[in-house]
Homo-oligomer: A and B are copies of this chain.
Amino acid sequence: MDGARMQEIANEAGINKAMLHYYYRSKQLLFEAVFKNAFSLLAPQLNTILNDDSSIEDKVRNFCSNYISFIIKHPYLPNFIIQELNRNPDFLLKMKNNPGFPTTEKFKKQVALEIDKGIIKPINGEQLFINIMALNVFPFVAKPLIQTLIGVEDEEFEKIVEERKTSAADFIINSIKI
C-alpha cells in the first residue's frame, strides 16, 4: 500500500490511471480488493491443516508439501499479507465472520484427542499450529535474510525450499510422534 503508486499500477495493467479510480474509486478500496483476493487464496490452504479429517501426521505431511508448492506459485503472497497486517492489524477482523475463515478450534480438539490416544506426545495445540506455520511460511518471508546468512543464490535457495516439503514435515513429526 505505502510503496505502490496508482500510476505504476495503471501502467502495469496497461490502462489509464483514471480507469483505476473509475473502477475502484480510491487507492484504499483497490487495496482492500487486492488484500481480500490474496487472503481468499490463502484461507483454503490454512483450512487443509485446520479442518481436514485426516490424522495430524497426514495433515502435517500434506500441508508442508502442498503449502510450499502453493507459495512457490504465489511468492508475493505471504509477505504481502504479513506486511499489510502489521500496518493495519485490525484489517482481518472485518473478514473474520466470512464463511470459510480459518479457525483453530477443530485442530486444537484433534491435537488433544491424539495426545489422549497416545498417538502424539503432549503439546499445546496453539503452539503446534504456530510451529507448523512458522516452519512453512518463514523461509519465504525471510528469504533475503536467510539467503545472505547461509550464502546461497536463488537457484540453491529454491532447492533448499523444495527440500523442505519433506524435511519440515519430518522435523515436525519427529518432534511429536511417539
A residues in contact (CB < 8 Å) with B: 2-3, 46, 79, 81-83, 85-87, 89, 92-93, 96, 102-104, 121, 123-124, 126-127, 129-131, 133-135, 137-139, 141-151, 160, 163-164, 167-168, 171-172, 174-176
Contacts and interface: CB of A to CB of B under 8 A. Distances in A.
In the assembly, how many copies of this chain are there? 2
A133 B142 contact: yes
A27 to B, nearest CB: 13
B171 A146 contact: no
What's the dominant secondary structure at chain A's contact region? helix
Contacts of A121: 174
Contacts of A151: 103-104
Contact of A135 (B79, B85, B103, B134): B134
B86 A163 contact: no
7 contacts: A85-B144, A129-B149, A129-B150, A130-B138, A130-B139, A134-B135, A171-B175
A163 B127 contact: yes
Contacts of A145: 81-82, 85, 92
A42 B64 CA distance: 29
A148 B104 contact: no
A141 B139 contact: no
Given A83-B83, A130-B139, 20 more contacts: A3-B87, A82-B145, A85-B144, A86-B141, A86-B143, A92-B144, A124-B167, A127-B160, A127-B163, A130-B146, A131-B135, A131-B168, A131-B171, A133-B142, A133-B146, A134-B134, A134-B135, A137-B138, A141-B142, A174-B175
